[in-house]
Structure 1
């Protein structure tokens, strides 16, 4: 089943308010026939107060570019986000260890979102269970700009499901980020840190592309990754 955000038809830049969303919309997304080696991606992970973008809030953004088959650590960035007035972290702190105290002087959402949107210019968003990242970014953009951004996304969880499925389409084993990484012999990282998880997803993606290329017997194209476009 395709999620609602995947069915939206792309709008032209003129339909977005002036500022980061219009600039992002003016960046042409890669064509589906583009070799993955020529596609720039931005691996993104978010930490939040919960799992519902309609009622929960961003607390941390971590991202790192993937360019030319490399994870560009020199351009990695993490921003902690101060929740709205009257919103506390609650029980989510037991997962990501972000507390009300250490978020009290964090970056306001209105200042945290533009650097992320700038980093996404001409790039494909990459995440493990990408619908979560897409919808939280969309909710943040609605709060700041009144509308959602134009995004193209690749989901490493969905890709791993395809790679692990047997001839009947059944999947055995976990598809969680750490479990997927173990399939390729990648090292274990501590979970629920936005930047660490973004790097982990980026490394997983490169391993998945190598495996997919082996199975296809040719260079992997963007369309082979089932990219989803929204906005």
Structure 2
């Protein structure tokens, strides 16, 4: 099963690479970390999106925030937040993320923002909390812009927290598993939510705290941790 799991990601990346153009093609030319890489040695990119809606079928990306993590160190100086101009009004979700129409109107075009993200993610594992949002919207953007899906190795800190607690997918729904609550279990400070860079940093800190669940040596490999 582990062999199939690893091979599935490899095959999906290989298929996507065949069709990818431009920045996405360059992303696929950089090898992803091997599944045998110890977690403490991983190069990862903690990432968060803010979007117009939680309905992923209709949502547009409004901002992308990311911060690299290398050998259990968060590289704050290389963190970045890019506001994206979706070419339409923000809608009622403005009360959540605070990105008003005038702010996003001055934002970067989607191709520019996605290209920057792909460059930052090259050769790294993507780490996100409830990563389905990030992977769905970024993959759709890459298909639109570059002709192929975005298929990174992914560690989902929400899924990882569920495993640490011994919960199954249906247990308690996601109660106690949102980013703030998961951080609270490790005594991490509470940050204001729904800023993409702040949430990416918060996710990076949570990931490192979760790794402490296994200790500093003899811990898990990427194969153990990744979502798919």
TM-score by shorter chain over 0.5: yes
**Counterpart residue number, 1:152:** 153
Give the superposition deviation at 1:146: 2.4
How many Å separate the matches in 1 of 2:223 and 2:61?
30
Aligned position for 2:69: 66
User: Is the CA contact (8 Å cut-off) linking 2:94 and 2:100 kept in structure 1?
Assistant: yes
Indicate the larger mover: 12-21 or 130-139: 12-21
| C-alpha RMSD of the superposition | 2.5
Question: TM-score by structure 2 length?
Answer: 0.89
> C-alpha distance in 2, partners of 1:147/1:166?
34
Q: What count of residue pairs does the alignment treat as equivalent? A: 220
Q: Distance in 2 between matches of 1:122 and 1:148?
A: 16
CA contact (8 A) 2:23 2:146 kept: no
Are the equivalent residues in 2 in contact too, given 1:47–1:192 (CA < 8 A)? yes
Runs of 4+, deviation exceeding 6 Å: 5-8
TM-score by length of 1: 0.87
Q: Secondary structure at the match of 2:12?
A: coil
- Written as runs of structure 1 = structure 2, the 5 A alignment for 1:16-31 is 16-31=19-34
Q: Where do residues 4-19 of structure 1 align in structure 2 (5 Å cutoff)?
A: 9-11=12-14, 15-19=18-22
1-side partners of 2:49 and 2:38: how far apart?
A: 28
Q: Which residue of 1 aligns with 2:207?
A: 205
What CA distance in whole angstroms lies between the structure 1 residues aligned with 2:96 and 2:142? 25
- 2:123: which partner in 1? 122
Aligned counterpart, 2:184: 182
> Structure 2: which 5+ runs fail to align?
none
Equivalent in the alignment of 2:143: 142
